[in-house]
């Protein structure tokens, strides 16, 4: 689905997506985008930020509040880091600033769909990633803590799954960025910090005093079993 109020831009994106073999629905405003995502459940939402009747940030806010996991690729004329990080903080998975290359847009669409595509059957017990009471199921795209389901955006899930696959390993920000946006050399490493902050709100009993997702100062982050390790008291 493409949500874009500029008819020329919407038509350009639609043509490129259809040329790649995708079925495309175009909507001209934010409210229609919310309604159509609820009705159609698309595989991906390409979302302009500046739109009438609810901007793109409001659209992401509503969809994530409803626990809808549709991947969101934002298109924005805003180039300041704070604006871009706000979109990621709300639950968007990637962004491009205008003007952009349609070919790069298609590359990002392919990568985002590949990384967020889920299969229906549950993963075998041996395929699930466990770090103490934290369980990550890569096949079903599910996370739980102490048996309680945790809703994660696709970006948050990719970062968490990468660390859960190697508990105790310290991941640098650039390594984690490669998990999120492997081909993109322009995204700030503060993107990782935003995802970590949001994950701590979801998986930590006290996000300001994390015991699972820890900071290793000057290096990056690691995921640990709190029953086996200490605490990052100043994260």
Q: What is the pLDDT of residues 113-164, one digit of tens each?
A: 876 664 444 444 447 889 999 999 887 888 999 999 998 887 888 889 889 9
- Of residues 113 and 48, the one with the higher pLDDT is 48
| Most confident range, picked from 25-39, 55-69, 116-130, 157-171 | 25-39
Q: What is the pLDDT of residue 213?
A: 96
Q: What is the pLDDT of residue 233?
A: 38
Please state, rounded to an integer, the average pLDDT across all residues of the chain. Answer: 83
Give the pLDDT band of residue 203 (cuts 50, 70, 90): very high
Q: What is the pLDDT of residue 158?
A: 84
Tens-place pLDDT, residues 183-201: 444 455 677 888 899 999 9
Determine what percent of the chain is predicted with pLDDT higher than 90.
Answer: 43
State mean pLDDT over 196-221.
Answer: 93
Neighbours of 227 (CB within 10 A): 8
Interacting residues of 198 by C-beta distance below 8 A, sequence separation 6+: 89, 153, 156
Tens-place pLDDT, residues 70-129: 999 988 876 566 666 777 788 888 888 888 888 888 888 887 887 666 444 444 444 788
Structure tokens at 205: 């009993």
Q: What is the pLDDT of residue 223?
A: 95
Cα(7)–Cα(101) distance, rounded to whole angstroms? 17
Cα(24)–Cα(143) distance, rounded to whole angstroms? 30
Structure tokens at 53: 């009747």
Q: What is the pLDDT of residue 139?
A: 76
Q: From the CA atom positions of the chain, what is the Rg in Å?
A: 18
Torsions phi, psi for 21 (to 5 deg): 100, 10
């Amino acid at each position: 689905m493409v949500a874009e109020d500029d008819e020329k831009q919407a038509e350009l994106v639609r043509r490129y997506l259809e040329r790649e073999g995708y079925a495309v629905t175009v909507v001209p405003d934010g409210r229609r985008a919310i309604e159509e995502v609820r009705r159609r459940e698309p595989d991906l939402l390409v979302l302009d930020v500046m739109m009438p009747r609810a901007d793109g940030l409001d659209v992401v806010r509503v969809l994530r509040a409803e626990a809808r996991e549709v991947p969101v690729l934002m298109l924005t004329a805003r180039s300041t880091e704070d604006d871009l990080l706000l979109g990621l903080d709300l639950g968007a998975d990637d962004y491009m600033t205008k003007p952009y290359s349609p070919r790069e847009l298609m590359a990002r669409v392919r990568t985002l769909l590949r990384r967020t595509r889920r299969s229906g059957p549950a993963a075998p017990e041996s395929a699930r990633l466990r770090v103490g009471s934290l369980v990550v199921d890569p096949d079903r795209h599910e996370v739980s803590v102490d048996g309680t389901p945790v809703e994660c955006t696709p970006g948050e899930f990719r970062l968490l799954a990468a660390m859960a696959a190697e508990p105790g390993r310290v991941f640098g920000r650039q390594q984690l960025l490669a998990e999120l946006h492997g081909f993109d050399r322009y995204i700030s490493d503060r993107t990782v910090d935003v995802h970590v902050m949001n994950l701590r709100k979801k998986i930590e009993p006290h996000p300001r005093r994390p015991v699972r997702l820890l900071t290793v100062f000057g290096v990056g982050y690691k995921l640990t079993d709190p029953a086996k390790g200490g605490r990052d008291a100043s994260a």
